[in-house]
Amino acid sequence: MSDKPKKEPEAAPAPANDKADAAKKGAGGLMSKTPVLLGLVMVLEAVVLFAGFKFLGGGPKPATAVELSHEEGGSEEPKTDAHGNPIPDSGKKKPSDKDRAVELTVVDFKAPNTQNGRRYIYDVSIFVSVKGEFETKVKDRIKDRDALIKDRMRTIIGQMDPEKLGGGSEPGLETLRRQVKSQLEIIIGDGMIDEVLVPRCIPFRADF
């Protein structure tokens, strides 16, 4: 007998079909893991975005009525506190010089009245309230037509029932205000006078 070791039979090469099956199994495993990986990536992106919003400004702020009115041009931009909340009344539009009310003196004089058979002297002070845009024009016309205005005011007071000059029937001097405004609009111009103010209308007996 020979002492030479017997050669082990060589393993037969794997068939081509077995290699294809192994490749399919590997690809199938990768495909099954892909949705999981995509899900993890999306979760990480959401966490990063959320942290970024929190860091930059605390997330989107709700629009308030003041902000909306500012976008429409109706008010100034409101001031906000440390938390980004609008401060009440900070966005209200401030009146311009043209819209502000200005009070101008018309007359400050004494005028007689004898309508009830007795002679009274009325110490009268009359002002007008106008918008800022008409201030210069009204002031100039009052100055230029001073004598005419005083004449018309004296006539109004002289012809009026004393009861309507601060008496019992009209303590608010409604008739005097209305007649004065009508005459001033003729002399100064229509649409410029907002209101007639009569801070003083005091009668004094003059027939003692």
Q: Among 155, 204, 146, which residue's Cα sits nearest to residue 179?
A: 155
CATH no., domain 101-205: 3.30.479
pLDDT number for residue 1: 47
Higher pLDDT, 168 or 93: 168
Q: In the chain, what are the domain boundaries?
A: 16-60, 101-205
Non-local (6+) Cβ contacts of 165 within 8 A are 113, 122, 157, 173, 176, 201, 203
Q: Which amino acid is at 33?
A: K
The answer to whether the beta carbons of residues 122 and 111 sit under 8 Å apart is yes
Q: Return d(Cα 66, Cα 86) in angstroms, integer.
A: 8
Q: Look at residue 127 in the predicted model and tell me its pLDDT.
A: 98
pTM for the predicted model, two decimal places:
0.55
**What is the arrangement of strands in the sheet containing 193-205, beginning at the earlier edge strand?**
101-113, 120-131, 193-205
pLDDT in tens, 3-60: 555 555 554 554 545 555 555 555 555 556 677 777 788 888 888 887 777 766 555 5
The per-residue pLDDT for range 71-130, each reduced to its tens digit, is 555 555 667 766 666 766 555 556 577 789 999 999 999 999 999 889 999 999 999 999
